[in-house]
Chain A
Amino acid sequence: MPKAAPAKTEYEAVIGLETHCQLNTETKIFSRESTKFDADNPNSNISPICLGYPGVLPVLNEKVLEYAVKACLAINCQVAPYSKFDRKQYFYPDLPKNYQISQFDLPIGEHGWLEIEIADKQNVEPVKKKIGITRLHMEEDAGKLNHGGSDRLDGSTYSLVDFNRAGVPLLEIVSEPDIRTGKEAAEYAQELRRIMLYLGISDGKMQEGSLRCDVNISVRPVGQKEFGTKVEIKNMNSFSAIQKAIDYEIERQIEAIENGEPIYQETRLWQEGSQRTKSMRMKEGSSDYRYFPEPDLPPIEVAKEQLEGWKAELPELPVAKRKRYQEEFGLSAYDTRILTDDRSLAEYFEVAISAGGDAKQVTNWLIGDIAAYLKNNNQTISDIALKPEILAELVGLIDKGTISGKIAKEILPDLLTKGGSAKALVEKKGLIQISDTVELEKIIDEVIAAHPDELAKFRAGKTKLRGFFVGQVMKKTGGRADPKLTNQLLGKKLQG
């Protein structure tokens, strides 16, 4: 009897993210040098402290602590009542002291989580998922190397070091291995970025490296408890690169397992050009950083009152806004996501609503015509002259029948670039909608009288010509005729 073919093994990926987020403080974490990104002037923001001269004393920047605690609160981490800094030893020329001041066993925050939304289609309710956060800690960034005057290490005979970045404050946020797909990972990273931007503590620019994500990934047969061999991937500088690198790596690992090939514990680099990951180096067992407590920095004990004070300063966060917009304004999950993606857009929306604008209408303008204008002109919502109160006014004018939606679209560019009141503009330009029955009837009579042939054809059964007559009325009134009323009146008149 022939044996049944074995069922194809199904695999799942186990993914965790390690995110480094540069804080936008004025000065470095332990010294009074500027944190400005200045590649044209190497070593212009250096001091004996960030170069690790003997005898110097690093002192913690109070803003770094404040930002770290606020970030902890925003991602539901428990803020440690007692936290400290440690020295992490490794040897590389971008690290002037031969150790990095970081946090090891007592990070400022632990046991957090954030909620992500996975939306496959516009009209489908997104799936929500909680991703655990293991820890959040503060540390200093390293310098930058130019290899033999170039970016490549291979073949260079020497390297040049720029320490402008050394000592720039970083938050490292480590997720639990709760992520299963490239899409989830990209969403998680985007939500983290959104939170940092809402808090106003980081620029979150992946291209410039102020937000960096490293991925740990392994695959295992569904149902298996043990993790597979973990591979680290680096060098993704966009959210789509994170997603693509992970999806590629999942395929690569499954294929290796199916072919009976080993998976090595290693670091792989994402290659944007070939859309593949490439092996960079083998990890020599577990790293030996020989952490020990940083003797120059006293421990941190965040007082309860201080913690409460910082908590009170937190803005409403994206996840809360998404929930509220759906519940309070009846907006769709899709609209809500777009509005809350950027804090200033969300705040613009909120001002327009409190000025009396209808939520759905305001949203349509914001994510439709206004979003298109911003995109085409490479602007943000803060750049336009149209005030949110005026958008509310504009929506109100349409609602009351003062102007048609078409007229509103026509005056929008003027409002966006020059600002001012929508009502005043409508009056000045004489664009008020003609909603007076007597006045409209007179115009319709004139239009019908001017087109006897079309009228005859219409009455002979060519009812499609109704659109022609509507068009003529609109042409004659410069688009000011009330479309609904025009249709209604025309209907009667055409029937004769």
Chain B
Amino acid sequence: MIDREQVRKVAHLARLDITAEEEEQFTTQLNSILDYFEQLSELDTDNVQPTTRAIETSNITRPDRLEPFPNKKDLIQSAPEPDGEYFRVPKIMASDES
């Protein structure tokens, strides 16, 4: 079960500004999603290794060879706010670099 406090925390981490009604709504919705997944606990997984990927493969690497993407201008142009050679973003409220 998750409560409103946890919903508020997740919203903060995701930088989402939500209203009190939305808090209530998301708490209910998230709980029903969790309830649905709870069905999985009916299975006995004591002897099953946790799975992180569907395909069993490892050590996929590529050679360290330059093959630049040709249309860099397009990448900047498809951004919401291109600014010359830069991507422009709104004012940053607080320094949060790690």
A residues sitting closer than 8 Å to B (CB atoms) are 25-27, 31-34, 41-48, 51, 59-65, 84, 89-94, 142, 145-148, 153, 156-163, 280-281, 287-288, 290, 293, 295, 297-301
Contact call A47/B58, Cβ cutoff below 8 A: no
Instruction: Check B64 against A90 for contact (C-beta < 8 Å).
Output: no
Q: A27-B67, A59-B60 are in contact. List 17 more A-B contacts (CB 8 A).
A: A26-B66, A27-B65, A32-B65, A32-B68, A43-B75, A43-B86, A46-B75, A47-B75, A60-B61, A61-B62, A153-B95, A156-B91, A163-B87, A287-B98, A293-B53, A298-B60, A301-B58
- Bound-state CA distance A46–B55 (Å) is 29
Q: Tell whether, in the assembled complex, residue B67 and residue A32 are in contact, meaning their CB atoms are under 8 Å apart.
A: yes
- Complex CA–CA separation, A161 to B52 (angstroms): 33
Residue of A nearest to B98 (CB): A90
Interface size class of B (residues with CB under 8 A): 35 or more
| A/B pair count, beta carbons within 8 Å | 129
The 8 Å CB contact of B64, one of A43, A62, A162, A298, is: A62
Is B69 in contact with A33, judged by CB distance below 8 angstroms? Answer: yes
Give A310 Cβ to nearest chain B Cβ, in Å.
14
| A288, B98: Cα distance in complex, Å | 12
Within the complex, what minimum Cβ distance (angstroms) separates B5 from chain A? 14
A159 and B88 contact, Cβ closer than 8 Å, known pairs A33-B68, A34-B66, A94-B97: yes
> How far is A326 from B53 in the complex, measured between Cα atoms in Å?
53
Give chain B nearest CB distance to A70 CB in angstroms: 14
The main secondary structure of chain A at its interface with chain B is: loop
B7 at interface by CB-CB < 8 Å: no
Which of B64, B83, B96 has the most C-beta atoms of chain A within 10 angstroms of its own C-beta? B64
B85 pairs with A43, CB closer than 8 A = yes
Residue pair B62, A62 in contact (C-beta under 8 Å): yes
Which residue of chain A has its CB nearest to the CB of B92?
A: A159
Residue contact A48 to B75, C-beta cutoff 8 Å: yes
Cross-chain contact A281 with B95 (CB below 8 angstroms) = yes
Let me know if A158 and B75 touch, CB within 8 A: no
State whether the Cβ of B57 lies closer than 8 Å to any Cβ in chain A.
yes
Any A CB within 8 A of the CB of B43: no
| A26 proximity list for chain B (CB < 8 A) | 64-66
Chain B residues with Cβ below 8 Å from A287 are 98
Residue of B at shortest CB range from A100?
Answer: B98
Chain B residues in 8 Å Cβ range of A94: 97
Write the chain A residue with the least CB distance to B53. A295
CB of B53 within 8 A of CB of A298, answer yes
For B66, the chain A residues whose CB sits under 8 A away are 26-27, 32-34
Contact of A62 among B15, B63, B85, B97 (CB under 8 A): B63
Interface centre among B61, B63, B85 (most CB of A within 10 A): B61
Interface pair B97/A158, CB less than 8 Å apart: no
- 29 of the cross-chain contacts (CB-CB < 8 Å) are A25-B64, A32-B62, A32-B69, A33-B69, A34-B66, A42-B85, A43-B87, A46-B75, A61-B62, A61-B64, A62-B62, A63-B64, A90-B98, A93-B92, A153-B92, A158-B89, A158-B90, A159-B89, A159-B92, A160-B83, A161-B87, A161-B89, A162-B86, A281-B95, A288-B13, A295-B53, A298-B53, A298-B57, A299-B58
